[in-house]
Amino acid sequence: FDKDLYEGNDVPGVVTGLAWTSVGGDILFIESSLSRGRGQLTLSGQLGDVMKESAMTALSYLKSHADGLGIDYRIFQHYDLHVHVPQGAVPKDGPSAGITMLTSMASMFTQRKIKPNTAMTGEITLRGKVLPVGGIKEKILAAKRAGIKDIIMCYKNRKDVEEVGEAYTTGLTFHYVDYVEEVLEIALLQEKVVNPLNFILPEEKKETPVSAPLGVVVV
Amino acid sequence: FDKDLYEGNDVPGVVTGLAWTSVGGDILFIESSLSRGRGQLTLSGQLGDVMKESAMTALSYLKSHADGLGIDYRIFQHYDLHVHVPQGAVPKDGPSAGITMLTSMASMFTQRKIKPNTAMTGEITLRGKVLPVGGIKEKILAAKRAGIKDIIMCYKNRKDVEEVGEAYTTGLTFHYVDYVEEVLEIALLQEKVVNPLNFILPEEKKETPVSAPLGVVVV
Amino acid sequence: FDKDLYEGNDVPGVVTGLAWTSVGGDILFIESSLSRGRGQLTLSGQLGDVMKESAMTALSYLKSHADGLGIDYRIFQHYDLHVHVPQGAVPKDGPSAGITMLTSMASMFTQRKIKPNTAMTGEITLRGKVLPVGGIKEKILAAKRAGIKDIIMCYKNRKDVEEVGEAYTTGLTFHYVDYVEEVLEIALLQEKVVNPLNFILPEEKKETPVSAPLGVVVV
Amino acid sequence: FDKDLYEGNDVPGVVTGLAWTSVGGDILFIESSLSRGRGQLTLSGQLGDVMKESAMTALSYLKSHADGLGIDYRIFQHYDLHVHVPQGAVPKDGPSAGITMLTSMASMFTQRKIKPNTAMTGEITLRGKVLPVGGIKEKILAAKRAGIKDIIMCYKNRKDVEEVGEAYTTGLTFHYVDYVEEVLEIALLQEKVVNPLNFILPEEKKETPVSAPLGVVVV
Amino acid sequence: FDKDLYEGNDVPGVVTGLAWTSVGGDILFIESSLSRGRGQLTLSGQLGDVMKESAMTALSYLKSHADGLGIDYRIFQHYDLHVHVPQGAVPKDGPSAGITMLTSMASMFTQRKIKPNTAMTGEITLRGKVLPVGGIKEKILAAKRAGIKDIIMCYKNRKDVEEVGEAYTTGLTFHYVDYVEEVLEIALLQEKVVNPLNFILPEEKKETPVSAPLGVVVV
Amino acid sequence: FDKDLYEGNDVPGVVTGLAWTSVGGDILFIESSLSRGRGQLTLSGQLGDVMKESAMTALSYLKSHADGLGIDYRIFQHYDLHVHVPQGAVPKDGPSAGITMLTSMASMFTQRKIKPNTAMTGEITLRGKVLPVGGIKEKILAAKRAGIKDIIMCYKNRKDVEEVGEAYTTGLTFHYVDYVEEVLEIALLQEKVVNPLNFILPEEKKETPVSAPLGVVVV
Ligand SMILES: [Ca+2]
Ligand SMILES: [Ca+2]
Ligand SMILES: [Ca+2]
Ligand SMILES: [Ca+2]
Ligand SMILES: [Ca+2]
Ligand SMILES: [Ca+2]
Ligand SMILES: [Ca+2]
Ligand SMILES: [Ca+2]
Ligand SMILES: [Ca+2]
Ligand SMILES: [Ca+2]
Ligand SMILES: [Ca+2]
Ligand SMILES: [Ca+2]
């Protein structure tokens, strides 16, 4: 019953997703927070198993691509990440929030702002592919109603957008992507949020860099 | 059957919430305690999954906003937090105790007194938004009957209050909020409780402050 | 079928409770033991969820009030606590053993004797309130039959006692309480048990006392 | 279908219990083993919840009475205990193996021999009481058939034995007990098993003995 | 509905498997990622119990054959492995992805490229045997449609391939194997991926090499 | 449908068991592997609870008899053990693989070869007894068909073998045992496998040997 509106990009880690529900499309917000801890992941908002796995996949992608995104890997070990999807009593499931969760986490770990008036929908895979999702028509209607201007989705969903009449898509810019990298390039601004978090990390222990182990026998 | 009355604000961590039940509204008390430990969270009072997630969200909010509230982050790591909602045999669920649980925890961690004769109801989100909840009419009646003078709730619930006749709301002051910060500003007095807890914490290890990692490559 | 009798107060941690069952009232014994360990809590006796939460609440209360009771907090970290309620095959549940479990634990941690011929029934809350419970008439009959002289319960249960005819209450002294502190004052004798346990504890590490953190920013 | 016979007392930790099954009584063997580890307890033999709690209660009793039995408490922390009840595919439950499991563990931890041709049945409580159990007639018949000479049980089961005709009890000696101490006094011989286990334990860290903490405030 | 195509071999850890579904065969991709951690294994993609065990078996095989494959064993302890099978909402089960998961992990741990246009299907066992699987005809059709040129499977599946008409198998090369070693020899190229991961590992502690312990008594 | 054949004894930890299924007897292979770790036990192959307990019992037996078998106890703490029973999708349960699993583990920990063309069936108990199992006739037929020459089983199963006609047992040698020790004496050759695993173990910390604690009071 409660149709939400776009809410700005001042807070790090808050990203707008598009949801399909039995009573039509809606936007939803993925929220992330970091606090000093031991690398624990907490998920809340009555998320189903598929959506939980989606969050775990997003986090693994970020961890294994931390260097490229300029994220100090020690943050993963010395901070706890919490991802919440309001409203807390509404059960949610499915893989289509994959890129939204990943973008929320990436914004939180880099403290970079999200492109304003932007929403997204798409499944992610562990290697960073973006997969198409369903409910495109309803999601577009909901995005427009909520004040969204830019929508990011999988290139394979382009045909679903074209099936929706132009009347519904005027004023919306669609960004079609195949890889997670493209999502982050579009959605993560270079600009940091105001008062970005200063991470407190332990001194690093000495470690041995090891080249890829092909043919090397270590005892 | 057992309608409770307001019980004062002498004890830290005890905050009055408003509940909707199948036999009408009631007030309930959220109780928090801290004891030396390792950062464990215990929830009791036959809380359902949504309510448990609500408590976890409240704690994550407090952890990531600890500095602003003057909470030493080491308390989260060296004390165990227990949140209990009497009566122990009555199952409870739903997101509407979110701000009440957060205020209870905040009072416990800061040892600050709660504003007297105050009750509250509202869902929280991880970034600190307060969301509207249901059962407003029944909750108002219960609050009045219990001796409450001030009620805090989401701005979006204002229309529900206005639908309730003035006869029921005389003598009550409503505080409408959009963010958790506002809840704590209203509900947490500057005054500490009598005999506040003195936290015992380990010496801090040296740690490296790291600026937000945008563009920084760490090896 | 098996109606128990009062069994003395020689052993620390054994406290007499009052139970309501489908075939009338009965007394039951809450037993606690401590052994060197790492702060683990074990509950046994086919206890239901509400009763388990009751035990956890009792333990949290003791931990956060350890100083006032003269309990060295290190005992909670270096001893394991086991609470058992015979008979092992009989399922038990409900919140009414709350004060009995708390008194059993307190006797064990302080090695103080329990007041002789005393039984009790009442729910506890985390802040230390005692709440009324049901089945008062049956419980009184069972207590009398078992040789009990003093009964501790919530002040709000006074009216239930008065409804029971005087014929049934002669020879019994009722102690009505509102707070857990009062329970312990009545039930825990200053006298220690014979051969009290000598706790073996590690040397303490240096720790920084920190005053309540209001307004203090720690980095 | 498979009625067992008494099997001697050469192996530490093997104790004969008496079971009641839907097809009559039988004897069973409780087996314990210790191996270097970290204090883990493993239970096997398709034991039900009541029987598992019984084992945990027996272990807690042993731990908190270790000094009196001459058991070095470090064994509990540096050895893993496994308790198994053959036959592995037959589900077992109930509290009546309590004293048998405790005696098996005690024999294992002390490496003392079990009194020959002895069987037992009885529930234990955490403080060390022995409680009566059912199925006495069937258990006596099974014990006799299996070559048992001495039976240990709760004093309160004496009346059940007397109801069984003398024809069935000739040749059997009954030992009635109220406390676990009495069970161990009867069942545990002073003699050690051949080739007793030599426990390997770490050097002890310095620890502070603390007298019972009544009235002592520790910071 | 969504029939996938072969997608290249640029990314380490991505291997093409063959699946049988109720609507015919399909190819699927097994994806692996490694990130600095503590040796945790995460599985996602709505995998059933058999498929999860298959992944655990593959990882154990790799661990116990690390030396032969030139994998530094410390990677298993200081990196977390995530294996994901898109699409995230489609439940998957069965043992036939065993060799595909193992090849994916092996590529990730060695950073070696996968043979192009190659797919595989086969159960693995812990000692490294490859077992036959079902659905061969449908899997072959799916592989061809997807652009696959080489297929690896168990020698015992040869008869199933021969039953499929030649019309369907032209253009496909079949590699029949009995052991996992053969799979890796065929599927893992000597060539590393572009920009292979450089593993960061802690200095090694001194450890004692011990010859196989037959007849050696250690105290 | 898939009747297996004996597969040699080159690989350590692979032992042939005899299974009874609804479509007749079959042989199965128990496989064990060891890899550097922290003493974790992993079981796979869709094993039921009874079979899992059987594996745990076998491991406990090995641990507590390590010295006699010449196994360095540190291997249990610094290696992970995985036991797998192919085929991965076929559910298996029951206690009759007990001696097979134990022999598989013992071969792995000692790197000793298994007697060729040997199969076995029998339940184990924690103290090392071997118990009789069912399905003997079907198991004998399956063993013969698979190329087995020697079969190990419980002495109490001798009568079941004798009931099977001699026509079925010619060419088979039966080894009847009462204790696990006898199983290992028959099945474990003195000869090690080719290229036995060299265990890498940490330097030992100093520890105090303690004689069995009877009558010793330790503080
Ligand atoms: Ca909404
Ligand atoms: Ca979807
Ligand atoms: Ca109430
Ligand atoms: Ca609500
Ligand atoms: Ca009773
Ligand atoms: Ca009650
Ligand atoms: Ca039997
Ligand atoms: Ca019984
Ligand atoms: Ca597909
Ligand atoms: Ca299959
Ligand atoms: Ca087979
Ligand atoms: Ca069997």
Q: Residue F77: CB partners within 8 Å, gap ≥ 6?
A: D36, D37, F38, F39
- How much is the average pLDDT of F66-90? 96
Question: Which two three-digit tokens encode residue D13?
Answer: 């930790």
* pLDDT at res. C142: 96
Report chain C's mean pLDDT, rounded to a whole number. Answer: 92
* pLDDT at res. E2: 64
pLDDT bucket at F2, cuts 50 / 70 / 90: low
Q: Which residue among C31, C88, C190 places its CB closest to the CB of D53?
A: C88
Residue A50 has pLDDT above 60, yes or no: yes
Neighbour tally for D162: CB within 10 Å:
12
pLDDT bucket at F8, cuts 50 / 70 / 90: confident
Distance CA D3, CA C137 (A): 49
pLDDT bucket at F208, cuts 50 / 70 / 90: low
Instruction: List CB-based neighbours of ion ligand 8 within 5 Å.
Output: D 94, 96, 133
Residue B112 has pLDDT above 70, yes or no: yes
User: Going by DSSP bridges, is the β-strand pair E188-192/E112-114 parallel, antiparallel, or unpaired?
Assistant: antiparallel
Helix ranges, chain A (H): 49-64, 74-78, 98-110, 136-145, 158-163, 166-169, 180-187
Cβ-count burial of E165 within 10 angstroms (0-12 exposed, 13-18 middle, 19+ buried)?
exposed
The ipTM value here is 0.92
Q: Is C82 on the interface with D (CB under 8 A)?
A: yes
DSSP category for residue B92: B
* Contact criterion met (CB < 8 Å) for C123 and B86: yes
Assign A209 to helix, strand or coil: strand
Ranges of residues in chain E whose predicted pLDDT is under 50 = 1, 212-219
Residue C78 has pLDDT above 50, yes or no: yes
* Contact criterion met (CB < 8 Å) for A44 and B61: no
- How much is the average pLDDT of C195-204? 89
* pLDDT at res. B206: 61
Residues C117-138: tens digit of each pLDDT: 999 999 999 999 999 999 999 9
Q: Which segment of B160-169, C148-157, D171-180, F177-186 scores lowest on mean pLDDT?
A: B160-169
For chain F, give the number of residues: 219
* pLDDT at res. F215: 34
* pLDDT at res. D206: 61
Residues D109-142: tens digit of each pLDDT: 999 999 999 999 999 999 999 999 999 999 999 9
C210-213: long-range contacts at Cβ-Cβ below 8 A with a sequence spacing of 24 or more? C210/B72, C210/B198, C210/B199, C210/B200, C210/B201, C211/B196, C211/B198, C212/B110, C212/B111, C212/B192, C212/B196, C212/B197, C212/B198, C212/B199, C213/B70, C213/B71, C213/B72, C213/B75, C213/B109, C213/B110, C213/B111, C213/B199
Assign C80 to helix, strand or coil: strand
Q: Which residues of D touch C88 (CB under 8 A)?
A: 50, 53-54, 57, 95, 98, 123, 125
* Contact criterion met (CB < 8 Å) for F72 and E213: yes
pLDDT bucket at A178, cuts 50 / 70 / 90: very high
* Candidates A16, A35, A49, partner chain B, best to mutate (most B CBs within 10 A): A35
Residue A3 has pLDDT above 80, yes or no: no
Q: Which segment of A16-25, A69-78, A182-191 scores lowest on mean pLDDT?
A: A16-25
DSSP category for residue F113: E
User: Closest-lying ligand to the alpha carbon of B90?
Assistant: 3
* Contact criterion met (CB < 8 Å) for E72 and A209: no
Q: Which residues of F touch E66 (CB under 8 A)?
A: 35
Q: Which residues of A touch E105 (CB under 8 A)?
A: none
* pLDDT at res. D209: 62
User: Closest-lying ligand to the alpha carbon of B88?
Assistant: 6
Residue B202 has pLDDT above 90, yes or no: no
- How much is the average pLDDT of F36-44? 97
Q: What is the dihedral of CA F209, F214, F215, F217, to 10 degrees?
A: 40
The owner of tokens 């994550």 is: B60
* pLDDT at res. E216: 31
Residue B1 has pLDDT above 60, yes or no: no
- How much is the average pLDDT of B24-45? 96
Please report, rounded to a whole number, the percentage of residues in chain B having pLDDT higher than 70. 92
Q: Residue B162: CB partners within 8 Å, gap ≥ 6?
A: none
The owner of tokens 């054994």 is: C14
Please provide the DSSP assignment of B170-205 as one string: TT-EEEEESBHHHHHHHHEEEEEPSS---EEEEPPP
Ranges of residues in chain D whose predicted pLDDT is under 50 = 1, 212-219
* pLDDT at res. E209: 62
Residues F115-135: tens digit of each pLDDT: 999 999 999 999 999 999 999
pLDDT bucket at B3, cuts 50 / 70 / 90: confident
Distance CA F76, CA E51 (A): 27
* pLDDT at res. E219: 24
* Candidates C214, C216, C217, C219, partner chain B, best to mutate (most B CBs within 10 A): C214
Q: Which residues of B touch A46 (CB under 8 A)?
A: 49-50, 53
List phi, psi (to 5°) of F138: -60, -35
The strand pairing partners of D18, in sequence order, are D27
Nearest to F153 by CA among F12, F16, F2: F16
DSSP category for residue D9: S
* pLDDT at res. B159: 96
Q: Which segment of B72-76, C37-41, D212-216, E159-163 scores lowest on mean pLDDT?
A: D212-216
pLDDT bucket at F209, cuts 50 / 70 / 90: low
* Candidates F99, F214, F217, partner chain D, best to mutate (most D CBs within 10 A): F214
* CA angle, residues F68, F72, F78, in degrees to nearest 5: 145
CATH (residue range F14-192): 3.30.230.10
Q: Is A6 on the interface with B (CB under 8 A)?
A: no
Distance CA C106, CA C98 (A): 12
Q: Which amino acid is at C101?
A: M
Residues F137, F145 contacting (CB under 8 angstroms): no
Nearest to F189 by CA among F4, F43, F27, F12: F12
pLDDT bucket at B214, cuts 50 / 70 / 90: very low
Residue A219 has pLDDT above 60, yes or no: no
Residue C217 has pLDDT above 70, yes or no: no
Residues B156-174: tens digit of each pLDDT: 999 999 999 888 999 999 9
Q: Is D60 on the interface with F (CB under 8 A)?
A: no
Residues C159-187: tens digit of each pLDDT: 999 999 888 999 999 999 999 999 999 99
Distance CA D86, CA F54 (A): 10
* CA angle, residues C8, C14, C18, in degrees to nearest 5: 85
- How much is the average pLDDT of A90-111? 97
Please report, rounded to a whole number, the percentage of residues in chain C having pLDDT higher than 90. 84
Task: Give residue D5 CA to ligand 7 midpoint distance, Å.
Answer: 9
Q: Is F64 on the interface with E (CB under 8 A)?
A: no
Each residue of D78-101: b (16+ CB within 10 Å) or e?
bbbbbbbbbbbbbebebbbbbbbb
Residues B172-190: tens digit of each pLDDT: 999 999 999 999 999 999 9
For chain A, give the number of residues: 219
Residues A106-144: tens digit of each pLDDT: 999 999 999 999 999 999 999 999 999 999 999 999 999
* pLDDT at res. F1: 47
